[in-house]
Amino acid sequence: MTSDLKLTPQEIALLEGAEGPGVQRAMEIVVTLGRIYGAPDLVPVGHVQIAGVSYKNLGDAGVAFLHEWAEEGARVRVPTTLNPAGMEMDRWQEMGFDPAFAQPQIDAIMAFVKMGVKPTLSCTPYLFPDDAPARGEHLAWAESSAVVWANSVVGAYTNREGGPSALAAAIVGRTARYGYHLPENRLATHIVDIRCPVRTIADFGALSYMVGKRVGAGVPWFADLADWLPPLPNDFTQGGDAGDRLKTLGAGLAAYGAVALYHVAGYTPEARDQGEALIRPNAQRIVIDSLDEGYAIMDADPDVTEIDLVTIGCPHASLSELRYIAQRLQGQKLATRLWVTTGRITRARAEQAGWVQIIEEAGGEVVADTCAVVAPVRSLGVRTMATNAGKMANYAPMHSGVKMRFGDIDRCLDAAITGRWK
Amino acid sequence: MTNPDEKQSPIILQGRVVRAGKAEGEALVSPEPISFLGGVDPETGVILDPNHALHGVSIADKILVFPHGKGSTVGSYTILRLARNGVAPRAMINAESEAITAVGAIIADIPMVDLIDIRQIETGDWVRVEDGRVEVRKKKPA
């Protein structure tokens, strides 16, 4: 069976082992994916985000494999960042994690670091000044919520990479040109009309569920969502009122559907430039006239009123979310446990502003490197949770067997202050 | 274990190499896609998904034939874990592969071929895989 994938002499050399077995294996992965998906060639990538970091999923075999790959000389060629792990790396002992879980988790991260990966341990590389992507840039990103952000909010190009395929792309500095790297695959398959208010971050989470379920792996075109969004900021690394809403929208679309890209008419970069030429002629129309269906799924345990853990930050909290939480908790004393989960880079920036200290004085925890989806929260004694994050609301009960309340951030913070959901 | 009937002339199928290599053994055919993460026990090779047609069946040491993978991309690491625990399939054959299974085959060193008409293969057939070539010797009628 012949393949039409064109490789440069340099790429062929890597495939034949010119730079050792580690690079050869990485090139074999990238080339095989190119052949399976009919790519014409490989395209250089500017940045890689790696998933498949949690020891729970890697197992001992996965950790050993990563170390072998590093021993074989595999090193990343482009800036590469890492998804969250199952615990905070510097404080796992005081947070009550089992060493039998912590030690292999640390080993896994050491293998990535050996290959030159930056241990950012966050799902939001786009919030970091050194890693935020640029319009038109090709990427190999493996965190589905970040993939949606890069494609939709920034107008960069990436497929939904898997953990090992993203790592392979970083090692050879290239990915196969197929899927969302090609303009013809970036056209909208569905038109979404909104006929109800969409105001809070929780509202955008509920909307993400309803649209994700209906479009699957399609590309939604939001015809009128810009009416409910503040203007796009110039600096996305702050989050901001618009960014925080788009962050939760993309995460939910990716989790409840398999969305990698959406457009908002007159708002997101490609939609601003190309207008309705971005809509496929046969696009299906979807009308959302109430968010009740989304709330019913996410706020699935309405009898629960005692909350063990309130968690904000899925995807990882932005600077603007940390600032808001600090303002709300100034001078308060919390009655229940609060985790604001974020990236260590964002936490360091929030510490400089004094917001982390305010949250901690109130009794809250600003947790880096992990979140309540990937951390084994049940082993920390958590049975009931509350969140404003649409993806978390459905994932945490599924992964950790906890009961969940879902509502806007003020309701979540009130629950943290009083210990009760009202 | 079914023994190959060497006198029977095999069906020859030609596909696309995903991971080069040679293997032979008894076919285990899944009529539906397989989700490796959560769907297959990495310690034993047994299919865990209660809704799957092969629930409770082990894929260890089989020539595993299925349309394609599905589910989380972390499933590639599940395939690796199966191999390192000695309970992986000897080879994998797909109708049309995708990233999860293909990457899993590469990192786990499991011969794999796709673009095969998998309706020609039944569970219990003796199958030999060599790069893109698949030889099928039908099991004897019961």
Contact indicator for B69, B100 with CB cutoff of 8 Å: yes
Please indicate whether, in this complex, the C-beta atoms of A36 and B14 are within 8 angstroms of each other: no
pLDDT of A351 reads: 98
The domain A9-178 belongs to what CATH superfamily? Aconitase, domain 3 (3.30.499.10)
pLDDT of A394 reads: 82
Which residue out of B9, B30, B35, B72 is catalytically annotated?
B72
pLDDT of A57 reads: 85
Round to whole Å and give the CA distance between A366 and A356. 7
Is B6 contained in some domain? no
Q: Which of B81, B102, B115 sits opposite A32 (nearest CB)?
A: B102
pLDDT of A1 reads: 41
Domain coverage including residue B36: 11-137
Q: In A, which residues are within 8 Å of B85 by CB distance?
A: 61
Is B2 contained in some domain? no
Helix runs in A304-365, H state only: 319-329, 344-353, 355-361
- Minimal-distance CA residue of chain B relative to A35: B18
Please indicate whether, in this complex, the C-beta atoms of B99 and A28 are within 8 angstroms of each other: no
CA distances from A200 to A139, A204, A330, B20 (A): 30, 7, 22, 52
pLDDT class for B6, splitting at 50, 70, 90?
low
- Minimal-distance CA residue of chain A relative to B105: A29
State the amino acid at position A123 in one-letter form. C
- Which residues of chain A are modeled with pLDDT < 70? 1-3
- Nearest Cα of chain B lies from the Cα of A176 at a distance, in angstroms, of 12
What pTM was estimated for this model as a whole? 0.93
Is B77 contained in some domain? yes
Q: What is the pLDDT of residues A192-240, one digit of tens each?
A: 999 999 999 999 999 999 999 999 999 999 999 999 999 999 889 999 9
Round to whole Å and give the CA distance between B83 and A135. 41
pLDDT of A2 reads: 45
Based on the residue annotation, tell me whether B97 is a catalytic residue of this protein.
no
For chain B, the domain total comes to 1
Average pLDDT on B5-19 reads 89
Nearest Cα residue to A147 out of A255, A42, A235: A255
Is B5 contained in some domain? no
User: Residue A31 CA to chain centroid, in angstroms?
Assistant: 26
Q: What share of chain A is helix, strand, coil (3-state, %, to 5)?
A: 45, 15, 35
ipTM above 0.85, yes or no: yes
- Minimal-distance CA residue of chain A relative to B100: A162
Contact indicator for A148, A254 with CB cutoff of 8 Å: yes
Q: What angle do CA B133, B64, B1 make, to 5 degrees?
A: 100
pLDDT of B3 reads: 60
Pick the CATH number of A299-418 from 3.40.190.10, 3.60.21.10, 3.30.499.10, 3.90.1150.10: 3.30.499.10
Is B67 contained in some domain? yes
B58 lies within 8 A of chain A by CB: no
CATH classification of the domain holding B28: 3.50.30.10
Q: Which of A28, A61, A163 sits opposite B73 (nearest CB)?
A: A163
- Nearest Cα of chain A lies from the Cα of B4 at a distance, in angstroms, of 28
Please indicate whether, in this complex, the C-beta atoms of B76 and A162 are within 8 angstroms of each other: yes
Two structure tokens written together for A199: 């105001």
Tallying the residues shown for chain B, one arrives at 142
- The DSSP code for A161 is -
Tokens 């569905």 belong to residue: A190
B111 lies within 8 A of chain A by CB: no
Q: Which residues of A touch B (CB under 8 A)?
A: 1, 3, 25, 28-29, 32-33, 35-36, 51-52, 57-62, 64-65, 142, 160-165, 168
Two structure tokens written together for A154: 């920034």
Is B107 contained in some domain? yes
Please indicate whether, in this complex, the C-beta atoms of A65 and B14 are within 8 angstroms of each other: no
Higher pLDDT, residue A102 or B71: A102
